[in-house]
């Protein structure tokens, strides 16, 4: 039985948010249904494609994400980019509206950082990523994404742009997370490209 405040939240969803919620649940259901071995093999293919496609300057600051639930396992790609000279960072939840990106260095401990994720500890350097590998629940052929509903990445990207950092935005997902169309909202940040197990698709 949901709590009263949860019922109220559902009742006041706008038509666009209600559609996004349904698309999110359907796409995540398809992702959850993938065979575990398929997810592992697809994550390795994603790493191979990304390493062959991304040409970054030494010292480029790349944000990624530690996998939760049935997400793409981005670690092979991240570690490959680090071998190529990139500096890595992961998102950590600071409060109900904010994520920051802490540097991921070899051998550093990982701590729980919210939403079931793990990340660098509080004494890690805070970085401003210029190349972002963005998690998502669903995406469409235009490069629009549906996140997990909390808006953390939209706000983080807007904050970076306010200080003059315009990061490249690459969504990472499995093919099964594609939907016909993601309804637009003013705060949405379109992706430059989407990386899946079948390839890298760039958008205009």
* Residue 23, marked binder: yes
Does residue 17 come out as left (phi exceeding 0), alpha (psi in the -120 to 50 range) or beta? Answer: alpha
* Residue 197, marked binder: no
Query: How far is the C-alpha of 66 from the C-alpha of 72, rounded, in Å?
Result: 9
* Residue 24, marked binder: yes
* Residue 119, marked binder: no
* Residue 145, marked binder: yes
* Residue 201, marked binder: no
* Residue 60, marked binder: no
* Residue 153, marked binder: yes
* Residue 112, marked binder: no
* Residue 82, marked binder: no
* Residue 152, marked binder: yes
Query: How far is the C-alpha of 192 from the C-alpha of 48, rounded, in Å?
Result: 19
Q: Other CB atoms closer than 10 Å to residue 19's CB: what's the count? A: 15
Enumerate the H helices of the chain as residue ranges: 4-11, 15-32, 36-53, 75-83, 152-162
Query: How far is the C-alpha of 17 from the C-alpha of 173, rounded, in Å?
Result: 21
* Residue 29, marked binder: no
* Residue 13, marked binder: no
Which residue ranges make up the annotated binding site for ATP? 20-24, 145-153
Give the residue ranges of the annotated binding site for substrate: 71
- Residues at the binding site are 20-24, 71, 145-153
């Amino acid at each position: 039985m949901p709590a009263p405040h949860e019922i109220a939240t559902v009742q006041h969803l706008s038509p666009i948010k209600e559609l996004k919620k349904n698309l999110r649940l359907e796409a995540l259901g398809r992702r959850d249904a993938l065979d575990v071995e398929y997810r592992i093999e697809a994550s390795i293919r994603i790493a191979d494609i990304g390493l062959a496609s991304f040409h970054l300057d030494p010292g480029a600051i790349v944000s990624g994400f530690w996998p939760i639930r049935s997400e793409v396992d981005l670690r092979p790609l991240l570690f490959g980019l680090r071998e190529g000279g990139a500096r890595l960072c992961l998102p950590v939840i600071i409060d109900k509206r904010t994520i920051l990106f802490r540097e991921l260095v070899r051998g550093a401990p990982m701590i729980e950082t919210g939403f079931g994720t793990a990340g660098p500890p509080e004494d890690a350097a805070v970085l401003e990523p210029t190349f972002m590998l963005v998690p998502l629940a669903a995406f469409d052929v235009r490069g629009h994404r549906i996140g997990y509903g909390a808006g953390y990445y939209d706000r983080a990207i807007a904050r970076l742009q306010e200080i003059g950092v315009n990061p490249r935005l690459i969504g990472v997902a499995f093919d099964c997370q594609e939907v016909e169309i993601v309804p637009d909202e003013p705060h949405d940040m379109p992706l430059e490209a989407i990386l899946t197990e079948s390839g890298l698709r760039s958008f205009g």
